[in-house]
Amino acid sequence: MKKIRVAQYSLTGCEGCAIAIINALARIPKLLDHLEITTSRIIGYVEPREADIAFVDGAVITQHDLETLKEIREKSKILVAMGSCASFGGIPAMRDDIGFNEAVRIVYGSMPNIPHTGKVEPLDYIVKVDYVLPGCPPPDWELEIFLRNMLLEKKFVLPDKPVCFECRSHGIPCLLDQGKVCLGPITTAGCEAICPLYNVPCYGCRGPIEELRLDKYLEALEEHNISSDKLLEELKIFMNKTKPRIILEEGGKK
């Protein structure tokens, strides 16, 4: 079987997604027989190279991110937005709420000389993205399924159900009953409800489900006497640039 050339890139993020790729490959060494890793800081080669699949994590924040992403797109047959930052801004997108200068002041105290784009953008604001693997980071089993599908030349699709579906199927007690804001009902499944499993509410790191019913979710919060003001704060963590926050801020109940 022909080897697939895989490249891994990190724009601005924590690079946890890069580690997730290594973990996934370590878990399934047989897959490595069918892959050729062409680019990755982890193997010591960072410049964009021709590849069949490029996994790109991190959001676009600096001028260097912007230029690198465009070059990656030109050199990659399939471009995968890997993780929440790349898929929809994720944690870095929180910066836009306080502004660039204030964020720099808080983090560095003074201005570092890094040319930036002025706003935080997910990859698909700038280039065509072929697949999205959301999560912070995406679970390694999902990455494995993705790679297997690519080797078999099959399409990959994300689950079209919310985290609640997996939560309920594992018999986990619902955190809404404890008065906690849990974004499980509006978040894409695939993580096996790992946070509620450990009594931590879902923060929506896998992004909103396709068939979003924010009105139903708001009704459920109301039934549990949970304020939707709190909801807005939760959405700002991972879903800053996504539909639920935009709809909520516009006062809609779609």
> What is the binding site for ligand SF4 (CB under 6 A)?
13-17, 57-58, 83-85, 90-91, 135-137, 163-164, 167-168, 172, 174-176, 182, 184-185, 187, 191, 193-196, 202-206
Size (the chain), residues: 254
Minimum separation from the CB atom of position 142 to ligand SF4 (A): 11
Minimum separation from the CB atom of position 135 to ligand SF4 (A): 6
Pick the closer one to ligand SF4 by CB: 57 or 65.
57
Pick the closer one to ligand SF4 by CB: 35 or 172.
172
Ordered DSSP codes for 101-147: HHHHHHHHSS-----EEEEEE-GGGTS--SEEE-SSS--HHHHHHHH
Residue 61 falls in which region: left (phi positive, over 0), alpha (psi -120 to 50) or beta:
alpha
Minimum separation from the CB atom of position 153 to ligand SF4 (A): 27
Pick the closer one to ligand SF4 by CB: 46 or 151.
46
Q: Tell me the H-state helices in the chain.
A: 16-27, 29-32, 63-75, 83-88, 95-98, 100-108, 140-151, 163-169, 194-197, 214-223, 228-238, 243-249
**Quick check: 203 and 222 in contact, CB under 8 A?**
no
Pick the closer one to ligand SF4 by CB: 34 or 161.
161
Minimum separation from the CB atom of position 141 to ligand SF4 (A): 13
Minimum separation from the CB atom of position 182 to ligand SF4 (A): 3
Pick the closer one to ligand SF4 by CB: 48 or 122.
122
